[in-house]
Amino acid sequence: MGDYYYMNIGQSVLQMLKDEISEIEYNRYIKQLQFATEESRSDFALFFAPNPLVANWIKTKYTDKIAHLFEIKTGTKPTVSVTIRTRNTPETAAAAPTAAPIEKPKHSLLNPSHTFENFVVGGSNQFAYAAAKSVSEKPGDIYNPLFIYGGVGLGKTHLMQAIGNVLQHQGKSVIYTSIEQFVNDFTRHLRNQTMDRFKDKYRKCDALLIDDVQFLSNKNQTQEEFFHTFETLRNERKQIILTADKHPKQIAGLEERLKSRFEWGLVADIQPPELETKIAIIKKKCEINRVSLTNDVINYIATIISNNAREIEGILSKLHAYAQLMHMDISIEFAKNVLREQLQEQRDNITIDYIMSTISKELNVKPSEIRSKNRSRNIVYARRIAIYLARELTPMSMPQLAKYFGMKDHTAVSHTMKKIQELLKNDEDFKVKIEELTNKITTPQIG
């Protein structure tokens, strides 16, 4: 239960935000939020939004800011979460004071629109989808745990929650949590000497869904506890589903026994979507959010976004908001104008210099070495990755790349690209490294 002090803090944080942003933006989005006093704690702030559009707009634009304002007010920076619920539910309940105290419906943190029906299947995610579907049909039975991994915004949380939603509809008790919340919860119960309650909570559910387990890295005490939770649940054939940004083998600072257990069931990867899949995802999001766009606008959006589907809802909200404001239809010219800024930001973020400095840091090779003709193994390795990522993530042409990397001409670049494609097919470690670096480079830095 939220403590008394915590009751109004959420609302006053939103008030603070009011001074910092435009009135239109405030009225359109922030005003629609409701602070979840019951569910929030000093390290976790939950807000309810009336629909996915508002929720996602807040998530993409404001959670960092909101967390920061909390920190100013309370000294603690919470994890800020936004979920969908229609307003007034608590008021309706309160309006019936004579009713016997009914058990409060447990608020589920599952996003109701994260369903299998709303998930677009393409070559990039087919395998993970099929695995998730089977798990939802036979929980605890075939693949336990199910481990889904892949880059940011590729649909891991969506798929995991789709299973959760199916099970929850069957009346099963489902716990969905991020590893950060799990760690926070653990620390809090440890401090309050209420570990029994912690154990009860996590060991007595029918399905435990834990998101982003790479953050367990180096948290030894929690790993220990998590290990026992895992063992208990698995012995009782309760379903465990985990996601991470990389393969269990690649998660540094994770106990070997956990790594091996994560592979006991099925490890499924999600790859970046092909253009067709991106287009289909955008169409799906339009349908869910009741935004209508012409095909050329949809195609345009598909080409400007990176592989991260999370951008889509932000873009739709933006287009929708502007169109309403200007009383204009969303034509391709209109979309280009509105999204120019977005495109610019993306291009500015991912420059060849940024790619080089990231690779150089991660692989411990100097940029000058990467651009040199040095043939030692680790440098050739770094150079290949740099050429590949520059080609994938920047608008640089083959001749430009040849010049930048001191190669003879564009055929030399295309030769290298071929070699890399081959490696991606045959060398699992190389593939994982490329994925990891792509993630690092394409994920906006927070702060």
The DSSP result for 375-420, as a single string, is: --HHHHHHHHHHHHHHHHHS---HHHHHHHTT-SSHHHHHHHHHHH
φ, ψ at 60 (rounded to 5°) = -75, -30
Judged by CB under 5 A, how many residues of this single chain contact Mg ion?
2
x/- track of binding to ligand ADP for residues 265-304 (CB under 6 A): ----------------x--x--------------------
Q: Which of Mg ion, ligand ADP, none does residue 281 bind to, with CB < 5 to 8 Å depending on kind? A: ligand ADP
Nearest approach, Cβ of residue 281 and ligand ADP (Å)? 5
Site for ligand ADP in 59-118 (CB under 6 A): 114, 118
Q: State both tokens at 381.
A: 């390795």
Residue least distant from Mg ion (Cβ)? 157
CA 413 to chain CA centroid, nearest Å: 33
Q: Does 176 bind ligand ADP (CB under 6 A)?
A: no
Among 59, 156, 247, 440, indicate the residue that binds ligand ADP (CB under 6 A). 156
Nearer to ligand ADP, 118 or 173 (CB): 118
Number of helices (H) and strands (E), helices first, in the chain? 21, 8
CB 228 within 8 A of CB 261: no
Nearer to Mg ion, 156 or 234 (CB): 156
Nearest approach, Cβ of residue 157 and Mg ion (Å)? 3
The sheet carrying 79-84 orders its strands as 34-35, 44-49, 79-84
Nearer to ligand ADP, 212 or 362 (CB): 212
CA distance 198 to 4: 22
Nearest approach, Cβ of residue 404 and ligand ADP (Å)? 31
Q: Does 309 bind ligand ADP (CB under 6 A)?
A: yes
Nearest approach, Cβ of residue 61 and Mg ion (Å)? 18
Nearest approach, Cβ of residue 160 and Mg ion (Å)? 8
Q: Does 313 bind ligand ADP (CB under 6 A)?
A: yes
Secondary structure string (H, E, C) spanning 248-310: HHHCCCCCHHHHHHHCCCEEEEECCCCHHHHHHHHHHHHHHHCCCCCHHHHHHHHHHCCCCCH
Q: Does 157 bind Mg ion (CB under 5 A)?
A: yes
CB 17 within 8 A of CB 69: yes
CA 41 to chain CA centroid, nearest Å: 22
φ, ψ at 175 (rounded to 5°) = -110, 125
- Residues near ligand ADP (CB under 6 A) are 114, 118-120, 125, 150, 152-158, 281, 284, 309-310, 313
- Residues near Mg ion (CB under 5 A) are 156-157
